[in-house]
């Protein structure tokens, strides 16, 4: 009998402890998730139940027996145990969820810190091209307060051409669900940007928004343009070089052939330029060449092309001429301009030139052949003492 009584008291005490423990867990859950106020009522209820059982336990101790409460308190104990297990499981779930949320918030904060400290413009737009987020860099560049642009359409702050381009790229991202990258030139400040547009998807894999990262590549583009310019232009005079001139000549020949037109090619060689280099040095000679290039450029039409072939030789392309007389008039004007004194520092130079003229399609129909005939004509002018222009006679063609 003694063992049975001990078990009876143990069950009653365990029931009391379990009730208070469940009440404690309820308050703990409320601390973890304050929005769920129902846990407070739950805990208060179990706290009252635990208090009642504590009073029952004290009464049983005073009587020396708890046989009267054995059945009911045993059931209450078992119920409380199962409930405690359930509440512990719920607590574990919410703790895990809270930890996940904290991790997500940490990641979100890191992302925001990264986005807001980057030198790139970053913004988020929905499928209707309305702004959802803009980082400080982008806001500073466009000079518009955030509250005046959030929720507004992209087109309200950009030209119609820029908006059309943006919408087309947006549609491509939404349709394919993949990121794209392209170069964009801003009309706002005439700068170049490398745009990366990436889809933002929901749990079903549907694109609901697009993130745009816009990297300023203006300096890179300027370097590329400079390299491209230097590859096709003479570095001394900044005129087109031979390669670019020959390309332009071939294009002009193709156009003239299609529309049954004529064009003229001039090869210009400065007379006695070597004496300037030998007497005054290459630096002075280079300055003379720069001035000659400007004189040639100013002696022809906007549609004509002036190039430096190399050394003291220059090339001129005259499209849309009606006869050789048109070319002769230009050649005569060039010689008049070149005969004007050239002032470099405190010195004056008198320059003349020998000019060879070749006309399409009369003298040749291919670019290289035209250049060859112009070169021959230039040497004929040299043989006559220079300071003259010549067109190659028919008898000298292809010899």
Task: Quote the radius of gyration of the chain (alpha carbons, Å).
Answer: 45
Please provide residue 184's backbone torsions phi and psi, each rounded to the nearest 5 degrees: -135, 135
Give 291-294's long-range contacts (Cβ < 8 A, gap of 24+): 291/342, 291/344, 292/338, 292/342, 292/351, 293/237, 293/238, 293/239, 294/237
Averaged pLDDT, 2-11: 57
Cβ proximity of 119 and 217 under 8 Å: no
Task: Please give the full DSSP string across 92-103, using - where no structure is assigned.
Answer: HHHHHHHHHHHH
pLDDT of residue 1: 44
The pair of three-digit structure tokens given for residue 88, joined into one six-digit string:
């512990």
Enumerate the domain spans of the chain: 2-113, 118-220, 233-396
Q: What's the rounded Cα separation, in Å, for the pair 367 and 15?
A: 107
Averaged pLDDT, 90-110: 66
Strand 207-216 versus strand 192-201 pairing type: antiparallel
What 3-state DSSP class applies to 82? helix
118-220 and 233-396: identical CATH topology: no
Cα 38 versus chain centre, distance: 52
CATH architecture of structural domain 118-220: 2-Layer Sandwich (3.30)
Strand 353-360 versus strand 388-391 pairing type: parallel
Residue of 312, 362, 363, 375 marked active site = 312
Write b or e for each residue in 188-219: b if 16 or more Cβ atoms lie within 10 A of its Cβ, otherwise e: eeebbbbbbbbbbeeeeeebebbbbbbbbbee
In the chain the first and final C-alpha atoms are separated, in Å, by: 138
CA angle 373, 370, 357 (to 5 degrees): 60
Element (H, E) at 335: helix 324-338
Q: What's the rounded Cα separation, in Å, for the pair 378 and 399?
A: 15
Cβ proximity of 69 and 56 under 8 Å: yes
pTM of the model: 0.60
Supply the DSSP symbol for 341: -
Q: What's the rounded Cα separation, in Å, for the pair 51 and 45?
A: 10
Our answer to whether residue 312 is catalytic in this structure is yes
Supply the DSSP symbol for 120: S
Cα 35 versus chain centre, distance: 44
pLDDT category of residue 115 using cuts at 50, 70 and 90: confident
Q: What is the pLDDT of residues 283-317, one digit of tens each?
A: 999 999 999 999 999 999 999 999 999 999 999 99
Cβ proximity of 182 and 161 under 8 Å: no
The pLDDT of residue 114 is above 80: no
Q: Of 27, 21, 33, whose CA–CA distance to 94 is shortest?
A: 33
Left (φ > 0), alpha (ψ -120 to 50) or beta: where does 203 sit? alpha
The pLDDT of residue 202 is above 80: yes
Residue 112: CB partners within 8 Å, gap ≥ 6?
A: none
Q: What is the pLDDT of residues 29-56, one digit of tens each?
A: 556 555 555 544 455 455 445 555 555 5
| CATH fit for domain 233-396, picks 3.30.460.80, 3.30.70.270, 3.40.190.10, 3.40.1280.10 | 3.30.70.270
Least confident of 61-65, 88-92, 126-130, 223-227: 61-65
pLDDT of residue 330: 96
Whole-number Cα distances in Å, 305 to 208, 244, 266, 310: 53, 10, 10, 16
Least confident of 73-82, 241-250, 353-362, 377-386: 73-82
Least confident of 68-82, 171-185, 358-372: 68-82
Burial of 314 (0-12, 13-18, 19+ CB in 10 A): buried
Element (H, E) at 209: strand 207-216
């Amino acid at each position: 009998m003694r063992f049975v009584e001990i078990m009876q008291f143990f069950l009653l005490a365990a029931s009391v402890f379990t009730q208070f423990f469940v009440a404690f867990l309820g308050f703990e859950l409320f601390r973890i998730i304050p929005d769920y106020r129902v846990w407070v009522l739950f805990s208060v209820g179990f706290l009252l139940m635990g208090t009642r059982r504590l009073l029952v336990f004290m009464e049983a101790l005073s009587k020396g027996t708890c046989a009267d409460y054995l059945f009911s308190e045993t059931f209450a104990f078992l119920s409380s145990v199962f409930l405690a297990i359930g509440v512990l499981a719920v607590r574990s779930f919410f703790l895990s969820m809270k930890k996940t949320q904290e991790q997500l918030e940490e990641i979100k904060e890191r992302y925001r810190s990264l986005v807001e400290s980057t030198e790139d413009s970053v913004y988020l737009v929905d499928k209707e091209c309305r702004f959802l987020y803009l980082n400080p860099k982008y806001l500073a560049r466009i000079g518009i307060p955030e509250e005046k642009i959030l929720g507004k359409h992209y087109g309200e702050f950009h030209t119609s051409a820029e908006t059309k381009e943006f919408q087309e790229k947006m549609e491509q991202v939404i349709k394919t669900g993949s990121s794209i990258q392209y170069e964009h030139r801003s009309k706002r400040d005439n700068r170049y940007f490398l745009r990366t547009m990436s889809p933002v998807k929901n749990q079903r894999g549907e694109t609901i928004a697009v993130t745009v990262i816009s990297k300023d590549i203006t300096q890179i583009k300027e370097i590329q343009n400079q390299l491209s310019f230097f590859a096709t232009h003479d570095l001394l005079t900044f005129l087109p070089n031979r390669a670019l001139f020959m390309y332009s000549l071939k294009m002009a020949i193709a156009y003239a052939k299609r529309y049954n037109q004529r064009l003229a090619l001039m090869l210009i060689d400065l007379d006695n330029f070597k004496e300037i280099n030998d007497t005054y040095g290459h630096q002075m000679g280079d300055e003379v060449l720069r001035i000659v290039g400007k004189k040639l450029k100013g002696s022809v039409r906007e549609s004509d092309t002036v190039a430096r072939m190399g050394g003291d030789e220059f090339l001129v392309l005259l499209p849309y001429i009606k006869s050789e007389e048109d070319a002769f008039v230009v050649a005569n004007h060039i010689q008049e301009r070149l005969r004007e004194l050239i002032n470099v520092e405190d010195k004056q130079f008198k320059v003349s030139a020998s000019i060879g003229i070749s006309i399409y399609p009369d003298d040749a129909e291919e670019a290289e052949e035209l250049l060859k005939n112009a070169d021959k004509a230039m040497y004929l002018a040299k043989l006559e003492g220079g300071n003259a222009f010549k067109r190659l006679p028919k008898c000298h063609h292809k010899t």
